[in-house]
Chains A and B, each alone.
Chain A
Amino acid sequence: MNGIALKRIDWAMLGTILLLIGLSAAFVYSAQFKSDLNVGSNWIKQLGFAGLGLCVYGVLVWFDYKQIGAFAWWIYGGAMILLLLVFLFPKVNGAHRWIPLPGFTLQPSELGKIAVVVALSAYLAAPGRDVDDWKTFFSCAAIVGLPFLLIVAEPDLSTSLMLAPISLAIMLYVGVQRKLLLIGIAAVLVLATLLCVWIKYEKPPAGQRAATGQVLPRMPFMEEYQKGRIKVFLTKDHDLADAGWNKLQSQIAVGSGGLHGKGYLKGTQNILGFLPRTVAPTDFIFCVIAEETGFVGGVGFILLYTILLGRCMRASTRSRDEFGRLMALGIGVMLFCHVFVNIAMTIGVLPITGLPLPLMSYGGSFMVSTMIALGLVQSIYQRRRNR
């Protein structure tokens, strides 16, 4: 049923969301503090986006999610069209990732992820779905595969790779060819390790001298910059002046924060400009947080996200129907992947990707899409079973 039942709202989740939004404004402000790029009002914009997101959130909570399930294929189709449309617009930084609209830009890959979750959940939760059937498996593959390919073609490898754990989690839960999936996961991990080794020891491009150990022939699958990112991740001081600079500065920022941090607005690494100002408020916002609030603050944030994820999982287990369960699970895994990858990137555990931190990174498109996802979860939770 439509409508908001205040007694059944998950206040823990809502509170955490609001808290994170508030902190986001504070740290976006800090990231732009003393920047001569003259963008001191970004934190206000961030609050504006958050406000918009909250409106959308409210709308989704009001609507019964099952009705959304009824429109699942429309949603999916719409997202696919947007993903195709993005190629018509000019490239930004060498990629077709954005659709410019009056007032803001839209990133369809974000909506694509949600659409995949919705569609996949709707498909697998349909009454009468035979999970052991191979047809089911291939349909799932198709549902995921199409947007995957479209996003990869943008190119946006990191976002497309996000689709994998999300869909894997849903499919594993439902039980679609579990054994195959588990073997597949193992194989992929092995392959990834091999790829990393290959990249580390491949010969440099023509014209550069090879360092010791770089003997393997060049790997053809990736772009140079993508390989560069992996190299930065694998080796300690690779290409410090250019590709490795962000990693180094990020680690310095985080590391020098110490136990208690340097204090709000006193994150010198950020303020002095060593952490490049273009990335500080967006992808590296956790860096600013870790430098200014230290280990204590960092763990606090991780805790907040853990609470958020925990509430998502709870919504999933308490869901009244299969559809809701699957959606909440998928959204939970999606959030987890974003949070984990982003924070790991800032502390050097994973290669640098373009994934922002949900609710904290500055960016309207991503904020709104996160709020859509969380709104769905809240909607599911509100209509949960009464144990």
Chain B
Amino acid sequence: MKVRRQRKENLLVIRGISALMLLGMGVLVAELWQLQVPRKSGFEEVFHNQSVRRVRLPAVRGKIYDTQGVVLADSVPNYCIAIYTEELRAPRSAVANTLELLHEVWVRVGLPPDISYHEVRQHILLTPDEPLVAWKHLDDKSLARWRREFEEWTAPSKGSRRRREIPGLDLGKPVQGRAIVLQTSALKKRGTTTAANTLELVYEISERIGQPRAVTFQRIKDHIFARRPLPLLAWKNIDDKMMARWADTCSGLAATDIYYQSDRHYPEGENMAHLIGFTLAADAISEEDGERVDFDLRGIEGVKGLEIKYNDLLKGQPGSQLVQIDVSGYHYRDLQSKPPQPGGDLQLTIDANIQRFAKEALALRQDGEAPGVPVRGAVVVLDPNNGDVLAMVSAPSFDPNTYMKSKAYRQALLKDTTARTYHRAVFGQYPPGSTFKPVAALGVLKAQPDYGETIHDCVNPYYVGKRQKRCWIHRRGGAHGELDLRHALMHSCNVYMFEMVQEVGYEPIHEMARQFGLGQYAGLFPDLEMPEQKDEPYGNLPASAYNATDACNLVIGQGAITASPLQMAMVVATIANGGTLYRPRLVQKWRTAPDQEYHRNPTWAIRRIDIPMAALELVRGGMHDVVMHKNGTAKKARVPGIEIAGKTGSAEFKKKVGDEVVDSTHTWMISYAPFDFPRYAVAFIVEDGVSGGNTVGPRLSALYQKIFEYDGTIKNRKSKIHHLLGGAS
């Protein structure tokens, strides 16, 4: 027995064991430190990757205003009924199971069931152990289809003979007679999927608010598969009435709430469609600024017009929301969010009222125009003193609000032969016809200042070489006789022009036309042009004439020469202000955010054309006579009390009607008023008209009437009341 001797050694053992234990604890502390302090960020990143998702939130788009502050493009709230699927994971619901089975069978039969949600619920409540007849009587085709689908659905998996069981359906009897029967007793005990619970909730809400379902079961399943942490929008764009009913009946339901999105809306609708354009859903993105984006709540981006040109300004900055998900992928809570920045605003030079007047004027039908066919044409109204665009209308137009919402509308538009979406006012290419004559006259007068007194005789018939060329009056069997330049303009005599161009040559005319901005490449209208257009010309201005006949065509604005209504408006504005060609200004000011200051878009003169005063007065005089003289071609454009100057034009072209090629006429007027101190310069074109004076003249008169009443030049109490009461479009 060595009890006492071992005392010392025992103590050593105890010390050793204690030391080992302390060492063990020390190792644990060290490892813990290692994990939690230096490597923490590594773990945090893994943790984030598996449980955090980034949602991209679109910004509220900026607004577009007219010059008075009328909203032309707005962001309006779109209220939706949202369902939060993470709250619908409760285990059992026989009703949900039944609905799920019903939908699965529905897809396979191709016919909707013969029972309603209410009946399903009653059945489960009262007689769950009884079978439920879901389709009462199938016709032969559906029966055959169901049998086929059922066989496929219950087909055994590979390598086994055992057929797949569908709970609730009898493997042995897919139909009973001609009815499909569900065995709801088998569905009672099964656990329910979240998709089925969501479907049940959708039915429940649908019944309570009295609206049919707006989502299919497949969409619910797709949402849970691909966009689980996000709310499911079961009804979108609900009106006030529906929202009130929802608040009354559904506010006690769990897992559902009102969700708010921002939609684009154009209060002026068709009037501004071409100018402002519209927006459509943007493409989904998966990465932004180096950060992964897991869910992109798609914003909108501009597709045409100002919306696409200024998309970067209007769209604002998207925000992002970090959402924490649990191990099943469902939304747990929101972490940080970076709020989206609203887009900037634009204020245009357009006056919504003048725009409306122009639209109405364009739509006024005259005698001789086919009823039922929409009017095609364009109107541009500029301020001649600074180039501001006061109105810019193209017809026929389309409704951008409907365009954004309805696919059917978009597809119908594609098939429409009247080219509704074409922005005629800016990009339409038309031969100017006689409206080119003032430019030609100015060109000649600059080269030969005395030409104004030259007289030519308008004879019928008139030949250039061997070709007969007509003046419009020749068609009526008459002739103008001897005219000087001013009268030639007043009467719009072609023969005078033919003589003139043969004497003086095309060159000075071409030079003047070029100075006026005709045949210009892109850069003329930077406020609306897109960068892709930089090689496309506005209109066509031939550099030279091939021969005398060609020159004669060109001088009267036919042949290869084309211009857009905008260019012709610029022409007449320049004549009105005495020779300064202003860049058309559409955007008056802009700001990058609603709380920022506006930046002004400056007025910009492209060039000052050197036109001798005498020449200007002569041409202006001629244009004055066109409207105000009793023999002028545009008598119908008159407005009592206002001195108007203008020029009519009828440009011939050939169009196809069915298989035939028919002659048709583009009818123009360019004009400015009041004569002595011009405030408005207008270019007005109607396709397929009779003549400038007959087709456009009355329209122009109506337009001027409204404009001058609007700005107070004409004081007319009756018309004021009319304007106040019902002047809207």
Q: Is A367 an interface residue (CB 8 A)?
A: no
Beyond A172-B13, A349-B31, whether A251 also contacts B43 by CB under 8 A is yes
Which residue of the partner chain, among A128, A256, A272, A295, contacts B327 with CB atoms under 8 Å?
A272
The CA of A175 and the CA of B16, in the complex, are separated in Å by 14
* A254–B35 touching, CB < 8 Å: yes
Query: Known contacts A174-B10, A258-B44, A302-B32; can you find 13 more A-B pairs with CB under 8 A?
Result: A130-B1, A248-B46, A252-B46, A254-B43, A255-B39, A257-B40, A272-B327, A273-B328, A313-B14, A313-B18, A313-B21, A329-B14, A349-B31
Beyond A175-B6, A252-B46, A273-B326, whether A295 also contacts B25 by CB under 8 A is no
A184–chain B nearest beta-carbon distance, Å: 15
Q: Is A41 an interface residue (CB 8 A)?
A: no
Chain B hits for A116, CB < 8 A: none
Docked complex: A334-352 residues within 8 A CB-CB of B: 336, 340, 343-344, 347-349
* A272–B17 touching, CB < 8 Å: no
B547–chain A nearest beta-carbon distance, Å: 85
* A333–B1 touching, CB < 8 Å: no
Chain A hits for B2, CB < 8 A: 131-132, 175
B608–chain A nearest beta-carbon distance, Å: 71
What mask results when residues 287 to 307 of chain A are scored 1 for a CB within 8 Å of chain B, else 0? 000100011001100100110
Q: Is B50 an interface residue (CB 8 A)?
A: yes
Chain A hits for B47, CB < 8 A: 252, 256, 268-269
Q: Is A309 an interface residue (CB 8 A)?
A: yes
B320–chain A nearest beta-carbon distance, Å: 20
The CA of A340 and the CA of B27, in the complex, are separated in Å by 9
Q: Is A107 an interface residue (CB 8 A)?
A: no
* A336–B28 touching, CB < 8 Å: no
The CA of A248 and the CA of B35, in the complex, are separated in Å by 12
The CA of A182 and the CA of B403, in the complex, are separated in Å by 88
* A317–B14 touching, CB < 8 Å: yes
The CA of A58 and the CA of B308, in the complex, are separated in Å by 83
The CA of A347 and the CA of B33, in the complex, are separated in Å by 10
Q: Enumerate chain B interface residues (CB-CB to A < 8 A).
A: 1-2, 6, 9-10, 13-14, 17-18, 21-22, 24-25, 27-29, 31-33, 35-37, 39-40, 42-44, 46-47, 50-51, 89, 324-328, 332
* A336–B29 touching, CB < 8 Å: no
Q: Which range contains the number of A residues in contact with the other chain?
A: 35 or more
* B17–A169 touching, CB < 8 Å: yes
Which residue of the partner chain, among B6, B28, B325, contacts A272 with CB atoms under 8 Å?
B325
* B27–A173 touching, CB < 8 Å: no
Beyond A272-B51, A349-B31, whether A128 also contacts B1 by CB under 8 A is yes
CB-based nearest A residue for B50: A274
* A306–B325 touching, CB < 8 Å: no
Chain B hits for A317, CB < 8 A: 14
20 residue pairs A–B, Cβ–Cβ below 8 Å: A169-B17, A172-B17, A173-B13, A173-B14, A175-B9, A251-B43, A252-B50, A255-B36, A255-B39, A255-B42, A256-B43, A259-B37, A273-B326, A290-B36, A294-B36, A302-B29, A333-B17, A336-B21, A348-B31, A348-B35
Q: Is A36 an interface residue (CB 8 A)?
A: yes
The CA of A131 and the CA of B24, in the complex, are separated in Å by 29
Q: Is A369 an interface residue (CB 8 A)?
A: no
Chain B hits for A130, CB < 8 A: 1
B409–chain A nearest beta-carbon distance, Å: 46
* B89–A36 touching, CB < 8 Å: yes
Chain A hits for B17, CB < 8 A: 169, 172-173, 313, 329, 333
A204–chain B nearest beta-carbon distance, Å: 25
Which residue of the partner chain, among A255, A274, A305, contacts B25 with CB atoms under 8 Å?
A305
The CA of A169 and the CA of B18, in the complex, are separated in Å by 11
* B43–A252 touching, CB < 8 Å: yes
The CA of A259 and the CA of B285, in the complex, are separated in Å by 37
Chain B hits for A248, CB < 8 A: 46
CB-based nearest B residue for A276: B327
The CA of A130 and the CA of B22, in the complex, are separated in Å by 31
The CA of A348 and the CA of B34, in the complex, are separated in Å by 11
* A173–B10 touching, CB < 8 Å: yes
CB-based nearest A residue for B9: A175
* B25–A340 touching, CB < 8 Å: yes
Q: Enumerate chain A interface residues (CB-CB to B < 8 A).
A: 36, 128, 130-132, 169, 172-175, 248, 251-252, 254-259, 268-269, 271-274, 290, 294-295, 298-299, 302, 305-306, 309-310, 313, 316-317, 329, 332-333, 336, 340, 343-344, 347-349
* B40–A256 touching, CB < 8 Å: yes
Beyond A169-B17, A268-B51, A329-B14, whether A254 also contacts B32 by CB under 8 A is yes
CB-based nearest B residue for A309: B21
Chain B hits for A252, CB < 8 A: 43, 46-47, 50
A215–chain B nearest beta-carbon distance, Å: 31
The CA of A254 and the CA of B89, in the complex, are separated in Å by 29
Chain B hits for A306, CB < 8 A: 22, 25
Which residue of the partner chain, among A173, A251, A309, contacts B35 with CB atoms under 8 Å?
A251
Which residue of the partner chain, among A255, A329, A333, A336, contacts B43 with CB atoms under 8 Å?
A255
Which residue of the partner chain, among A251, A269, A302, A333, contacts B28 with CB atoms under 8 Å?
A302
Chain B hits for A299, CB < 8 A: 29, 32
A28–chain B nearest beta-carbon distance, Å: 20
Beyond A175-B9, A272-B327, A274-B327, whether A349 also contacts B36 by CB under 8 A is no
* B28–A344 touching, CB < 8 Å: yes
* A290–B326 touching, CB < 8 Å: no
Beyond A251-B43, A273-B328, whether A336 also contacts B36 by CB under 8 A is no
* A258–B18 touching, CB < 8 Å: no
* A268–B25 touching, CB < 8 Å: no
* 7 tightest Cβ-Cβ pairs between the two chains A and B: A255-B43, A273-B327, A272-B326, A295-B36, A256-B43, A255-B35, A173-B13
* B324–A268 touching, CB < 8 Å: yes
A173–chain B nearest beta-carbon distance, Å: 5
Chain A hits for B14, CB < 8 A: 173, 313, 316-317, 329
* A302–B25 touching, CB < 8 Å: yes
* A272–B37 touching, CB < 8 Å: no
The CA of A317 and the CA of B22, in the complex, are separated in Å by 17
The CA of A358 and the CA of B298, in the complex, are separated in Å by 53
The CA of A340 and the CA of B31, in the complex, are separated in Å by 12
Chain A hits for B31, CB < 8 A: 344, 347-349
B21–chain A nearest beta-carbon distance, Å: 5
* A340–B28 touching, CB < 8 Å: yes
Chain B hits for A348, CB < 8 A: 31, 35
The CA of A306 and the CA of B22, in the complex, are separated in Å by 8
Chain A hits for B44, CB < 8 A: 255-256, 258
The CA of A174 and the CA of B50, in the complex, are separated in Å by 53
Chain A hits for B89, CB < 8 A: 36
B381–chain A nearest beta-carbon distance, Å: 63
Chain B hits for A128, CB < 8 A: 1
A176–chain B nearest beta-carbon distance, Å: 11
The CA of A299 and the CA of B24, in the complex, are separated in Å by 13
The CA of A316 and the CA of B36, in the complex, are separated in Å by 35
The CA of A18 and the CA of B35, in the complex, are separated in Å by 29
B7–chain A nearest beta-carbon distance, Å: 11
Chain A hits for B43, CB < 8 A: 251-252, 254-256
The CA of A256 and the CA of B37, in the complex, are separated in Å by 9
Of the listed residues B18, B28, B42, B46, the one surrounded by the most CB atoms of chain A closer than 10 A to its CB is B28
B12–chain A nearest beta-carbon distance, Å: 10
* A349–B29 touching, CB < 8 Å: no
CB-based nearest B residue for A269: B47
Chain B hits for A274, CB < 8 A: 50-51, 326-327
A330–chain B nearest beta-carbon distance, Å: 11
Chain B hits for A340, CB < 8 A: 24-25, 28
* B1–A347 touching, CB < 8 Å: no
The CA of A251 and the CA of B37, in the complex, are separated in Å by 13
B94–chain A nearest beta-carbon distance, Å: 20
The CA of A305 and the CA of B596, in the complex, are separated in Å by 63
* B10–A258 touching, CB < 8 Å: no
A138–chain B nearest beta-carbon distance, Å: 19
The CA of A174 and the CA of B35, in the complex, are separated in Å by 39
